[in-house]
Chain A
Amino acid sequence: MRYGNLTAVDEASFDVGAGETVALVGPNGAGKTSTVSAVLGLVRPAAGSVRVFNSDPVRDRARIARRWGVMPQTGGLPMGLRVGECVGLFAALYHNTIDPAALLEQCGLSEVADRRWRSVSVGQQQRLSLALALVGGSDLLLLDEPTAGLDVPGQGRVLELIRRRAGEGCAVLFTTHRLDEVERVADRVVIIGKGRVLADSSLAALTDAVPEIRIGGLRGSEMMRLDHDLGTSFAVTAGHDPIAVTMIPAGEDPSGLLQAVLCWCRDEGITATSVSVGSRSLVDVYAELLAE
């Protein structure tokens, strides 16, 4: 996708299936919102194609828009409307709607239903925006940073609503900068950087693909000896109690290396405070993909 001479998104290819929740993550300017804009048919890609419900979202927008609910990153409403009226208005635009009163309750907006939307808090406006996306009972939800500006209970409420809709068979694509949210609700994560898809995988596959051994309590010189003796490559994570971390190459059994580490510690008379084998965190995977 191009804006003048700027290529915002290049080679982004992924899909979202019914009942699936996909998180689109990436740093600022990576092309997340541009990608969502293309899915919504607001911009036409310079090359390639976007299909939503097997239709072109630019050409067939009027028809397929009845099947999606959208929470744009920014977006106001007609001035002077009350919160409840906004939800009622959007309910009237769809066929298969959720009861507006029930939705206001689920979104924690019942108490402000009679207040003008501009007069409620930013967090309440954000939840109203989600309510407008949900009220159509859509088959596809497109949510651009749905928890931005929300307090912790608000974030939990929004994530729960997303999870519930996905459980009812709705396809969900959401963008976020918060990887903890991805771990809480996403089935799959698409990591985008500089307009390209760097990873498109289930969370488990992404974090389990390269298991790691973590050893706590080693001094720097001890770690260098460990590296040398075992021919591994340990890195140190920051913190009061440095932890040496090494990745296990794909397909290798980590138990062999773990055994070697434990024997080495015993032979050298070194007491490690902790030794573990586990999945890598999404934060680490994300940081490494972007660094590459």
Chain B
Amino acid sequence: MVILARTELRVAARDGEQLLLTAGLPVLLLVFFSVVDVLPTGSTDPIDFLVPGIVTLALLSTGFVRLAIGLGFDRSFGALDRYAVSPVGVIDFLGSRALAASMIVAIQLVVLLGLGVALGWRPELHPAVAGVVSLASVGFFALGLFVGSVTEGLRALAVANTLYVVLLLFSGIVFDLSELPDGLSALTRLLPTTATAELLRATTTGSAGEGRYWVVLAAWALAGPALAVRFFRWR
């Protein structure tokens, strides 16, 4: 698993477009919206609202979009055909992708949190923050691998990017959920992005967060890997 993860990291480091999406975009958004105060953040301090949202966005980009597109293109370019007849097992293969994504997420977190502090963010961290990042990572990684398992090539690109926009817009990442109509707001509270953003905001301001968001995040973290393993196919 480690050798495969190392290979995946090597490939990631050479893929400039993906790096721009996964690493550059969240940094750009964090800097832009912290300087240009246009987000409807409600009563929350803009930087306290922004950093958890951008961290959620980074997890979504790296964990979900990158994994889905990478797996989908590996399938269309025949890399999975070769792994299919090699000693690599499904769990090792999927685990290696998740492990590599974890490494990238860790680097992103250091960069984004450091940048946030530089921009005036003063978090009051609750110990549960580690649980939020862990559960969210598992959920997003697994959903990305699931989408990459049932699509390939350009279809993976289209599906992943569409879901990315949906998960981004209909969540509490870029604006306060109270801005949405009641029915839609209730639905968005079931999304992993909403749960992640809300719990990150809570756990970076000294609170453990609301139980219903923990339930939602845990459900995605359990369902995601089950879906990914169940629907994964080499060919």
Contact = CB atoms under 8 A, between A and B. Distances in A.
Nearest to B81: A75
B86 interface: yes
Interface stretch (B53-61, B71-79, B114-122, B211-219): B71-79
Contact of A74 (B8, B81, B89): B81
A72 B81 contact: yes
Contacts, number: 67
A78 B89 contact: no
Contacts of B78: 74-77
B3 interface: yes
B157 to A, nearest CB: 14
Interface stretch (B10-18, B126-134, B158-166, B173-181): B10-18
Contact of A77 (B10, B14, B82, B87): B82
Contacts of B15: 79-80
A80 B14 contact: yes
Interface string A70-100: 1010111111110001000110111000000
Contacts of A89: 3-4, 7
Nearest to B82: A75
Contacts of A68: 85
A132 B88 CA distance: 14
Interface residues of A, number: 25
Interface residues of B, number: 23
B84 interface: yes
B74 A78 contact: yes
Contact of A80 (B10, B81, B234, B235): B10
Contact of A70 (B14, B74, B86, B88): B86
Interface string B1-28: 0011001101100110000000000000
Contacts of A40: 85
A115 interface: no
A16 interface: no
A93 B88 contact: yes
A91 B81 CA distance: 17
B77 A76 contact: yes
A247 interface: no
A238 interface: no
A12 B16 CA distance: 49
Interface of B: 3-4, 7-8, 10-11, 14-15, 73-74, 77-79, 81-82, 84-89, 234-235
7 contacts: A42-B85, A76-B78, A77-B79, A78-B79, A81-B10, A92-B3, A136-B87
Q: Report the 8 A-B pairs with minimum CB-CB distance, sorted nearest first.
A: A76-B78, A75-B82, A70-B85, A76-B77, A80-B14, A75-B81, A92-B3, A65-B87
